[in-house]
Structure 1
Amino acid sequence: MRTVLDARTSSAYGSRSRPGIHGVLDVETALAAADTAAHLRDRLADGEKISGPAARRAVTAAATTPRFEGRIVPRTFAKKAAKFLARDGVVLYDNADAFLICAFKRDNALCEPEPGATAPRQYACQSGCGNTVRTDSHARQLRQRADEIDQLATSTPGPLGKRLRSNADKLRATADTHDATAQTAEALT
């Protein structure tokens, strides 16, 4: 929703109170970011390794982000959520489509976020971004997706099949890069 709605076109949308839908989006985004940090913390505790330019920031963020325990979210939480999201560089966003976690820092972002943005433009995720983090789970998912693409390529003729195989090779290369550079959380702290 955050990618569809911007402040100019939707500031009054569904709004009976001041924050309107953007306050709801901040709450949902903050809860999702807290879940991402908790899942990363659990995976690292289980021995998964982590790689990427923002790996150290992600380990720190995962260790310091409070876990949401499923209680009722009060009306005042929207302000707290906005403040939480404004912590540039220590908020983690899961991008399942790109098989990575974004430790979003506006200055490093290649997704070209708006000035003052508190979240990445996940649909515009770019390889080589300084905010990327991958875990062993992401590397496994990259390889599974590459296998699916290869399977599709076997029944796709000509140049399109070749392009599919090339994309699968790029996914495997990304997973191999993770394997070659991944470190434990303890090594990064």
Structure 2
Amino acid sequence: MKDTSKHQGLRNQLAKLLAEKGITDKKVLEAIKVIPRHLFLNSSFEDFAYQDKAFPIGAGQTISQPYTVAFQSQLLEVKKDHKILEIGTGSGYQTAVLVAMGAKVYSVERQNELFKTTSALLPKLGIRAKYLSFGDGYKGLPDYAPFDSIIVTAGAPIIPKALMAQLKIGGRLVIPLGEDVQIMTLLIRKNATQFEKHEFGDFKFVPLLENKN
């Protein structure tokens, strides 16, 4: 599959739609314009890649709808060279958006099939994550902590303590919390023991899986 001027036009339209839906972070919108989402999907979905919809990517997982990717990315308040931990690499699309925003991304994926596919795909597209790992997202990556921010791209019943511990003071953790429907939740670390919590309405994610490795 190639990336054409037609795809670029569709990305520009998608970015415009996301702006109309309330995405204001210019870096997020620019990243949506440059990352070829159709290359992260099975070719049978190529014609729909720039609709604001989620699609299956194998192993019972999905690529999040662009609005969700943009919304989570905006909550992170990414600055250049921010060290970001991503829990749930999935297709690699969210990873790519964060890299395009200037972040240094460390990502964990629990499904080996997806880990292998995405680890091969990202370098082919010239997208350089700092570190891709196959492992249990509930544990994070303590060897690389602390992180400026942490993003969880699957629904979690609780906020894993390990992830809270790996967040810098002043850092932001964005996680969808809940079983069937999730509430998008932002934690800001105030000091060693205190976190400020904000909630941003309902979203729908596949569940965050643990302890299967």
Query: What is the TM-score with the length of structure 2 in the denominator?
Result: 0.23
* Larger relative strand fraction: 2
Rg (Cα) greater in structure: 1
Query: What is the TM-score with the length of structure 1 in the denominator?
Result: 0.25
Higher relative contact order (CA 8 A, sep 6+): 1
* Larger relative helix fraction: 1
